[in-house]
Chains A and B, each alone.
Chain A
Amino acid sequence: MFADYSLAELGSIFVMQGFAGLILFSVFVLMALGLAIIFGQMGVINMAHGEFMILGAYVTYFTSQFFLNYLPSLFGAYFFLAMILAFFAAGALGMAVEWLMIRRLYKRPLDTLLATWGLSLILQQVYRSVFGPREVGVELPNWMMGSLPVTDMVEVQINGLFVMALTIAITVAVALLMYKSAWGKQVRAVVQNRVMAGAVGIDTEKVDRYTFGLGCGIAGIAGSAFTMIGSTGPTSGQLYIVDTFLVVVFGGAQSLLGTIASAFTISQAQSTMEFFLSGSMAKVLTLLGVVIILMLRPQGLFVIKVRR
Chain B
Amino acid sequence: MLKSDRTFFLRPQDMIGIAVLAFLLIVVLPLTLDNFRLQFVGKYLTYAFVALGLVLCWGYAGILSLGQGVFFGLGGYCMAMFLKLEASSVEATKIQTTPGIPDFMDWNQITALPYMWQPFNSLTLTLIAVIMVPALFAFIVGFAMFKRRVGGVYFAIITQALAAIMTILIIGQQGYTGGINGITDLRTLNGWDIRTDSAKTILYFVCVGLLIACILIAYFVKSSKLGRILVAMRDKEDRVRFSGYDVANFKVFVFCLAASLSAIGGAMFTLQVGFMSPSFVGIVPSIEMVIYAAVGGRLSILGAIYGTLLVNWAKTSFSESFPELWLFGLGGLFIAVVLIFPNGIAGLWQSYIAPHLGPLFGGAAKRRASPPATPPAAPPSGTAAPAAAE
Contacts and interface: CB of A to CB of B under 8 A. Distances in A.
Most-contacted residue by chain B among A245, A278, A296 (CB, 10 A): A245
B164 A287 contact: yes
B259 interface: no
Most-contacted residue by chain B among A109, A121, A280, A294 (CB, 10 A): A121
Most-contacted residue by chain B among A110, A113, A295 (CB, 10 A): A110
Contacts of A104: 339
B169 A110 contact: no
Interface string A273-286: 00000101101100
Prevailing SS type, chain B contact patch: helix
Contact of A280 (B152, B168, B332): B168
B132 interface: no
A14 to B, nearest CB: 23
Given A242-B283, A246-B161, A284-B169, A121 B387 contact: no
B338 A105 contact: yes
B333 interface: yes
A68 interface: no
Interface in B119-173: 141, 144-145, 148-150, 152-154, 156-158, 160-162, 164-165, 168-169, 171-172
Contacts, number: 132
B291 A114 contact: yes
B334 A108 contact: no
A108 B337 contact: no
Contacts of B145: 295, 298
A219 B32 CA distance: 51
Number of contact residues on A: which range applies? 35 or more
A122 B388 CA distance: 29
B331 interface: yes
Contact of B332 (A108, A118, A290): A118
A230 B342 CA distance: 39
B172 A278 contact: yes
A246 B283 CA distance: 14
Interface string A285-306: 0011011001110100000000
Contacts of A238: 283
Interface string A111-143: 111110111111011001100000000000000
16 contacts: A105-B339, A107-B381, A107-B387, A108-B381, A109-B383, A110-B64, A114-B287, A114-B294, A115-B335, A115-B338, A245-B161, A291-B158, A294-B154, A295-B145, A295-B148, A295-B158
Interface of A: 43, 45, 101, 104-105, 107-115, 117-122, 124-125, 128-129, 238, 242, 245-246, 249, 278, 280-281, 283-284, 287-288, 290-291, 294-296, 298
Nearest 5 A-B pairs (CB), nearest first?
A118-B334, A280-B172, A121-B331, A122-B331, A108-B384
